Amino acid sequence: MSNLFSGISGRFRRSPGTPNGTQPASPTIGTAPGAGAGPAAGPAAGTSSIHSSSSTASLAPRVPPLPNSPSLSQTMSMNESTNSHPNSDPRDPLAPYNLPRPKPLWLNDMYAKHIVKGNFMTLSTRPKTVEQGEWIAHHVVEHYRNLWNFVRVIHEKDEDGSSICNPQTCPRMSAGVNHSFTWLNSRKEPVEVPAQEYISLMQRWISGKIENSALFPTDPAGVSFAHNPGNPGISGATYASGGLDTPHSSTPIPAGPTTLNASLSQLAGPGDWLGKSSGFPIEFVEVCQTIFRQMFRVYSHLYWAHFIDPFYHLSLEKPLNSCFSHFLLTATEIDMLKPQELEPMQPLIDLWAANGTFPKDSKAYACANIKAGERLLAMSANQ
Amino acid sequence: MDNTGNRFHLNLNNNDRPQFNDRAFPTTPSTFPNPIFPPQAQGAQQQGQGQNAQQQPYGTGFAPAPAGYFMNNPYPPQYQQAPQAPQASYQQRPAGYQANDATNGLAHQFSNQNLGGGRASPYGNRQAPQGPQRPRTAGAPAQQTYNSSLSAPMPNQPTQQLPEYERAPERNPDKYPSSTQANQKKCSSLAESFFKDNVKRARDRNVRQSEMEQRLVDPNQSQSRREQTWSNAGKQEGKYLRFLRTRDNPENYQTLKIIGKGAFGEVKLVTKKQDGKVYAMKSLIKSEMFKKDQLAHVRAERDILAESDSPWVVKLYTTFQDSDFLYMLMEFLPGGDLMTMLIKYEIFSEDITRFYIAEIVLAIEAVHKYGFIHRDIKPDNILLDRGGHVKLTDFGLSTGFHKLHDNSYYQQLLQGKSNKPRDRNSVNLDQINLTVSNRGVINDWRKSRRVMAYSTVGTPDYIAPEIFTGHGYAFDCDWWSLGTIMFECQVGWPPFCAEDAHDTYRKIVNWRQSLYFPDDVQLGPEAENLIRSLVCNTENRLGRQGADEIKAHKFFRGVEFDTLRRIRAPFEPKLNSNVDTAYFPTDEIDQTDNATHLKAANAAAGGQPRVEAPEMSLPFIGYTFKRFENTTRG
């Protein structure tokens, strides 16, 4: 076990303006614009105290709570990228993305296809009776299994010990030239590590969480259910007594909040939290949000660094697209990813909204810039 | 919920983009279940046309069109408003892609260059590249479709040199090492089975939900009853989700007894530690399955059991795996099997025979309705439930339906000299010598048969000739097996039994000469007629047009098939508890389980650490299965 990396943060990298993905020589840590883009000392310090009290979590990517998230800020990138491309047409909805030219293959609609057809929301919409925490836990595990299915392709070592994603090909955990993600070391300093190491550390951290039955309970006796919204006449029944194995089961507690528009933290009153009735601990939602954010970063790296090599060459781009679009739809639907966290993959989200992958009533669709997506669609049609 | 908006289906057949035929998702045919028309040996296809034409009525009656694995799951009626119609947004582009016509403009040439025939796709289906890549020409007609003010044209001049998008290189999977290519296959089959399983689950969930909603609006329900309905539904769904994300393992079960052993594994009576529920757990040794080429059969069994929801088929609750074993958790049927019953009673009266044969007809019919051919119907695979009624099990497994589609295997057996030592359990069995008077000999034979049932070779006694003569086979091969079982029930031994498998094979192939009804056995004329109508060449075999032909046979006059399962069975097992194994030959079975043997062997060999998560090993991807009812069963 290494104690070197105790934290994790996303950091905005100033685009050096070099098109076509040539690696900039060195814009490193100091260039991150603005205080908010750094590891956000405050929140990082807050989490590191938790860290120090728990030795088993020493590999944990510590991410500050959402509102103070140090991860990528959209506004910053907009300002910067419009400046860095003086030639771009201000009316071009894609201009703010500061995309390299030529644009990545995965933004071509032709390569943004799926192995499934139809409404992905069928898989993401919470069944009315199911308690929200249970639904979130289910999706964390499913998407984790899916994602690592693709990671294995780039990480497994072949006979001579090398892997497709290695410190030479990917010295940083990058998502294009505009973004890379750093870890916080034990002194809360952001440290660049090769993508391979970053992803491996993250994998160990996530599986540690998922396999922890205090965080992800497995006893069927503890299962609860969702409040029945269609039955106001029985409002007394909005209290679920919790399963037999739930601590304090004698106290009636509200079943999992289900209002999708309110933020999760608002829903839980004092002494209550999402998933409580099903036996999920108070930190459950935050842990799941962190897991989803980390998984999103891995997907971003897969697209920006490995879409062609190897996924396209191996004819795996359709499965990748299907798993990732399902991931995005689910993560936004259950409030595991916030719109501003989607930035590195925003153009693909726009494209999928425009080409019908994202149903119009999905939250992922609402996160998209349709004009940008339509623009990509039009350009793809003219290829 | 909006049903039309819920359409969600797999898009694996690439109908919309034909030039992607290099991505045929090759895992499907090899490891997925038996197609409706099972894989035939090369030679078999020569007689293809005529045979297919003959099979037509059967095929359409029983199963969806054999369009490929994923087409086997048509949507329930509520989805039929626009069945499988691609959404508009999907149609738009493919229409353009499909046109290989040169008049369609540069755009298509360009896309075809990029897509056409990746020179070395992993799937072996190569096309020659369609010529060198041509630079895109700015200002070509196809480009002038930008005319919305939003997509203001990028100035033509600067783009002239620089394409909008990275150009797609020719796919070149061969540049990666073999380990990557193996991972590629894992990856694509895992993603496929992820969506396949999830689409099915979502569909089932929606059905359950609308059933619940109907109960909620029932005005006869009291408020508290409705509340109960809601919360029970929520808890059941929640338990199922928890079950799905929890990895099952054999340590969660307590073994009570080993009730069966075979070449590839064993069946144990177990209880789940958490709730005390009783199951039969079949565990198969992965390495043996692999060595003996049984992987397709494991898949077939898992798939039919997972898909079926029939009282005639043993219920599968879940499947899971670890690095050494595949596990199938099934319902425990305390009545034992028909083989044990035949050993005990030797022959059945005509009435009792009628009952079992009629039930087996219904059971085989049920299997056929799911689109499967059992191909290995025999007394060992016919289990008896608590009430003494029949259920089928063992779909292509454990008793070693060895290398089923490897025709050469059978040819070898047929041509080769009998090489079994003559003294093994030696019972001089030639059916000409068999009469009722030497029943004792027959029972010795049966005991050796139980030994044989546990071997890899299995018994060929009940197998139809067309299966191993390599001329292809269809659903009706199971009706042949039915005929041989009926013969055994009435006569006391199977019609082609012989001292070793080779002789049995020869007798089966030469059934016209070797089918012989002993003089000292009195068979009713209808019974003999039915047997002869089943144990015959496939063109004349009763049941070719469906099970109703058989049900209409005179032998079954007076049998009410619709209510058969509800009447009292002629033999009802007498049980002292729900874990009573009186009907299993447990004292003949080594009670040390394979895991213990394996552990000992590993310890002796020094033991290697496991490398990979078990469900990630390629041949067993998609094996894991979890039935909803498992969480709700009482």
User: What is the C-alpha separation between A381 and B105, in angstroms, rounded?
Assistant: 12
Q: What is the ipTM of this complex?
A: 0.74
pLDDT at A75: 26
Three-state SS annotation for chain A: CCCCEEEEEEEECCCCCCHHHCCCCCCCHHHCCCHHHCCCHHHHHHHHHHHHCCHHHCCCCCCCCHHHCCCCCHHHHHHHHHHHCCCCCCCCCCHHHCCCCCECHHHCHHHCCCCEEECCHHHHCCCCCCCHHHHHHHHHHHHHHHHHHHHHHHHCCCCCCCCCCCCCCCCCEECCCCEEEEEEECCCCEECCCHHHHHHHHHHHHHHHHCCCCCCCCCHHHCCCCCCCCCHHHHHHHEECCCCCCCCCCCCEECCCCCCCCCHHHHCCCCCCCCHHHCCCCCHHHHHHHHHHHHHHHHHHHHHHHHHHHHHCCCCHHHHHHHHHHHHHHHHHCCCCCHHHHHHHHHHHHHHHHCCCCCCCCHHHHCCCHHHHHHHHHHHHCC
Each residue's pLDDT tens digit, A267-289: 556 678 999 999 999 999 999 99
Residue in B118, B188, B234 nearest the CB of A129: B234
Q: For B587-595, which contacts have Cβ atoms below 8 Å and span 24 or more sequence positions?
A: B588/B450, B589/B258, B589/B259, B589/B260, B589/B261, B590/B258, B590/B261, B591/B257, B591/B258, B593/B255, B593/B258, B593/B266, B593/B268, B593/B283, B594/B265, B594/B266, B594/B283, B594/B285, B594/B325, B595/B250, B595/B283, B595/B324, B595/B325
Catalytic residue among B322, B376, B478, B503: B376
User: Is A347 within 8 Å of B132 (Cβ atoms)?
Assistant: no
Specify the residue for token string 């040996």.
Answer: B41
**Residues in chain B within 8 Å Cβ distance of A308:** 166, 168-169
- Please give the residue that has the higher pLDDT: either B370 or A367: A367
pLDDT at B20: 35
Residue in B171, B223, B631 nearest the CB of A313: B171
Report which of B609, B127, B156, B545 is spatially closest to residue B365, judged by C-alpha positions. Answer: B545
CATH of domain A5-10+42-71+88-214+284-381: 1.20.140.30
User: Is B394 within 8 Å of B378 (Cβ atoms)?
Assistant: no
Residue type, position B120, single letter? A
User: Could you give the angle at which helices A132-155 and A284-306 cross, rounded to 10 degrees?
Assistant: 30
Q: For A241-249, which contacts have Cβ atoms below 8 Å and span 24 or more sequence positions?
A: A242/A276, A242/A277, A242/A278, A242/A279, A243/A219, A243/A278, A243/A279, A245/A219, A245/A221, A245/A279, A246/A222, A246/A277, A246/A278, A246/A279
Q: How far is A188 from chain B (nearest CA, A)?
A: 34
Tell me the domain boundaries of chain B. 4-142, 179-245, 250-334+590-631, 338-574
The annotation status of A367 as a binding-site residue, yes or no, is no
User: What is the C-alpha separation between B272 and B252, in angstroms, rounded?
Assistant: 6
SS3 assignment, position B487 = helix
User: Is B389 within 8 Å of B363 (Cβ atoms)?
Assistant: no
pLDDT at B326: 85
Residue B279 backbone dihedrals phi, psi, to 5 degrees: -140, 165
| Interface residue B152 vs chain A (CB under 8 A) | yes
Taking an 8 Å cut-off on Cβ atoms, the answer to whether B10 and A156 are in contact is no
User: Is B25 within 8 Å of B70 (Cβ atoms)?
Assistant: no
Residue type, position A112, single letter? A
Q: How far is B162 from chain A (nearest CA, A)?
A: 7
For the beta carbon of residue B556, count every other beta carbon within 10 angstroms. 17
> Taking chain B (634 residues) in consecutive chunks of 10 residues, what is each chunk's mean pLDDT?
48 42 30 32 40 39 37 39 40 38 34 33 40 42 42 47 83 88 87 89 91 89 89 92 86 91 85 90 82 64 70 87 86 90 87 96 90 82 93 57 40 46 36 44 62 58 82 85 95 84 86 88 92 94 94 95 94 91 83 83 67 51 61 46
- Please give the residue that has the higher pLDDT: either B361 or A82: B361
The CATH superfamily of B338-574 is: Transferase(Phosphotransferase) domain 1 (1.10.510.10)
pLDDT at A236: 34
Q: Is the dihedral of CA A353, A92, A300, A44 positive or negative?
A: negative
Each residue's pLDDT tens digit, A87-135: 556 678 888 888 988 899 999 999 999 998 888 888 999 999 999 999 9
Query: What residues contact B351, with CB distance under 8 A and at least 6 apart?
Result: B570
User: What is the C-alpha separation between B181 and A158, in angstroms, rounded?
Assistant: 10
Picking from B10, B216, B245, B272 by the largest number of A CB atoms within 10 A of its own CB, the best residue to mutate is: B245
Could you say which residues from 132 to 151 on chain B have a Cβ atom under 8 Å away from some Cβ of chain A?
136, 142-143, 145-146, 148-151
Compute CA distances B168 → B113, B119, B124, B136, B586, whole Å. 9, 13, 20, 13, 63
Specify the residue for token string 């899916």.
Answer: A146
pLDDT at B441: 58
Specify the residue for token string 């501003």.
Answer: A340
pLDDT at A368: 94
Classify B250-334+590-631 by CATH class: alpha beta
Report which of B96, B157, B333, B278 is spatially closest to residue A109, judged by C-alpha positions. Answer: B96
pLDDT at B628: 67
Q: How far is A45 from chain B (nearest CA, A)?
A: 33
Q: Which residues pair with A9 in a beta bridge?
A: A182
User: What is the C-alpha separation between B15 and B18, in angstroms, rounded?
Assistant: 6
pLDDT at A267: 53
Specify the residue for token string 């044969």.
Answer: B357
pLDDT at A147: 94
The annotation status of A165 as a binding-site residue, yes or no, is yes
**Residues in chain A within 8 Å Cβ distance of B95:** none
| Interface residue B154 vs chain A (CB under 8 A) | yes
Residue type, position A281, single letter? P
User: What is the C-alpha separation between A177 and A22, in angstroms, rounded?
Assistant: 8
User: Is B352 within 8 Å of B551 (Cβ atoms)?
Assistant: no
User: What is the C-alpha separation between B586 and B571, in angstroms, rounded?
Assistant: 20
Which residue of chain A comes nearest to B631, CA vs CA?
A220
Compute CA distances A336 → A9, A212, A264, A292, A357, whole Å. 17, 20, 9, 6, 20
Tell me the domain boundaries of chain A. 5-10+42-71+88-214+284-381, 220-278
- Please give the residue that has the higher pLDDT: either A20 or A380: A380
| pLDDT classification of A160: cutoffs 50, 70, 90 | confident
Is there a catalytic annotation at residue B376?
Answer: yes
pLDDT at A366: 94
Residue type, position B142, single letter? A
- The tokens for B25 are 């998702």
Residue B153: in which H helix or E strand, if any? Answer: none
Q: How far is A116 from chain B (nearest CA, A)?
A: 4
Residue type, position A14, single letter? R
| Interface residue B235 vs chain A (CB under 8 A) | yes
For the beta carbon of residue B629, count every other beta carbon within 10 angstroms. 11
Report which of B434, B406, B307 is spatially closest to residue B366, judged by C-alpha positions. Answer: B307
- The tokens for B150 are 């939003």
For the beta carbon of residue B340, count every other beta carbon within 10 angstroms. 19
